[in-house]
Every structure is written in C-alpha cells, then in structure tokens.
Amino acid sequence: MKLHQFPCERAEDLYEGIQTLDWSKYLTPDLTLSVTATGKTEQLNHTHFTALQVKNAMVDQQQKRFGDRSDVDLQDPDVRINVHLDRGGCTVSLDSSGNSLHRRGYRPAVGFAPLKESLAAALIQLSGWQPEQMFYDPLCGSGTLPLEACLKSLHIAPGLFRERFGFETWLDFDPDLLDGLIQEAKSSQRETLSAPIWGSDRNPQVIEQAIANAKNCGVSEQIWFSEMDLADVVAPTDSGVVFCNPPYGERLGKIAIWARFINCWVTC
C-alpha cells in the first residue's frame, strides 16, 4: 500500500522525506519492523544504506515522540516497509503480504528443484488447461503442478494455507472482515474434481512428499500420486493434458530424458 512519494536524490532528502510521515498511524514502539529498499539514485546507490537511513528516520521519530522505538526483526517483522528509489523520487509502501506469496504454506516437504507454487499456478493458467480435462504430470517431484491444478479445480483459494498476511498486524486491521472473506472463499469450494489429476515420479521419496503435501492441502482423497518410471507410463485416458517440469542440465545433472519422454508420449 503506497504511503508517500517525494523527490529524493541524497541521504538527507531521504531522511527528511521519511520523517514527514506520521509513522504512529502504522507503527507503535511495541511492533517490530523491517525495511527493504530497491532502486537507486546517483548518491543513494547502496540499497542496504538506503534501508538503514529509512529505519533511522522512522525510529528517531518514534524515540522523540514516545521515548521508545520499534525493534528491527528481519525474519518475521510485524510491519514491513519498502522504499523504492527511481528517477529522483522515493516511493514508500507498506507490505501487505508478509512472507513471499509463492510460499502457500502447504509445502514444507519439497523434492529436488521444486517449482515455486505461484509459478506452477501461473503456468497452468497460461496453458489453457480446463478442469474438465485430465491433468497428468509424469515427473511430478513433490507434486507442485498437480497440487496447484487440484486447488484451481476445487476452487480452493491459495492464501488459505498461509499462517498470516502482513496486513494482519496493521493498526487498522479488521479481523471480522478477513474472517468473512475466508468464509466466503471456503463456501465456494468444490468437493470433487471434474476430471482426474494424477502425478507420478520414479523416486519413491518424492512421491511420499507429494502425498504429504496433498494431505496438508486437504486434497489427498481427490488427487492421485504413484511411483512410476517415465518409460513405463501409458496414457491413462483417451485425452487430457500432460504437464511437467523435467530435470535438466546443470541443475540436476545431464540426464537425457527428453528423447525418452517424447517417444513415450507419442506412443501413448
């Protein structure tokens, strides 16, 4: 949420600009704080220094007004501030998300080179896959692609698994409003899939992880994971969509599975 924008070239401009905001509206001394900075100007070209300068301006204001100041917590702060420097201007924002939104919260168990949940969801969205089509990932690892497809198909809002959002510690946070929105999201969920969703992988350990992740999402009864080598795969239905994130090159070793995969699917 954008709070303020002001011209800013030098460290002094930054300090003064930050102090023109009344920070008591967003932050009391009992709340912890972290500041991130992006962008630069000719003189403010070190994001770590920029963030420190902003934090100093904020806590100096608190100290003067309350005789007390917020502690800094870089891991799990109550209030996160972002400042962005660009073309001689500074934009100050409150971070409403908290921890990165790609961490849905259902996946403590991850295999080798897992896809980010949000990237998996975006790829599925772009692919044109429809929940009425069977979805199959023959290299599913910890199951991110089938799980995201399953959440989409069952209308399960991805944010439901998060422990909390950044805005939940804002001073004007309305818990009843959030509860209402959560209930609304839950009431639009579906019980059953329109078409099967299946993931398989040759590694039994990652299949165990995928099943654990499905349990965390509450969809282990709907989705199907099994241990199988790609070479043994046969088409599970007459039509559907194959969606996968194969191992490749430097990240996981030079495993030439593409030719086998394409052969396999053409055979199917």
- Which residue, 18 or 145, has its beta carbon nearer to ligand SAM? 145
Strand-pair partners of 85: 39, 90
d(CA 66, CA 50): 24
Q: CB-wise, 112 or 265, nearer to ligand SAM?
A: 112
Q: Which residues contact 252 (CB under 8 A, 6 or more apart)?
A: 112, 113
CB of 239 to ligand SAM, least distance (A): 22
- Residue numbers of the site for ligand SAM (CB under 6 A)? 111-115, 139-142, 144-145, 201-203, 206, 229-230, 245-247, 257
* Contact (CB, 8 A) for 178 and 244: no
CA distance 10 to 89: 10
Distances (CA, A) of 11 to 52, 151, 268: 10, 47, 64
Residue (53 or 142) nearer to ligand SAM, CB: 142
Specify the residue, 90 or 233, whose C-beta has the smaller distance to ligand SAM: 233
- Nearest distance from residue 128's CB to ligand SAM, in Å? 19
Question: Minimum CB separation from ligand SAM for residue 130, in Å?
Answer: 21
Least gap, CB of 150 to ligand SAM (angstroms) = 14
> Between residues 73 and 208, which has the closer beta carbon with respect to ligand SAM?
208
Compute the least distance from the CB of residue 125 to ligand SAM, in Å: 16
Residue 241 host element (H or E):
strand 241-242
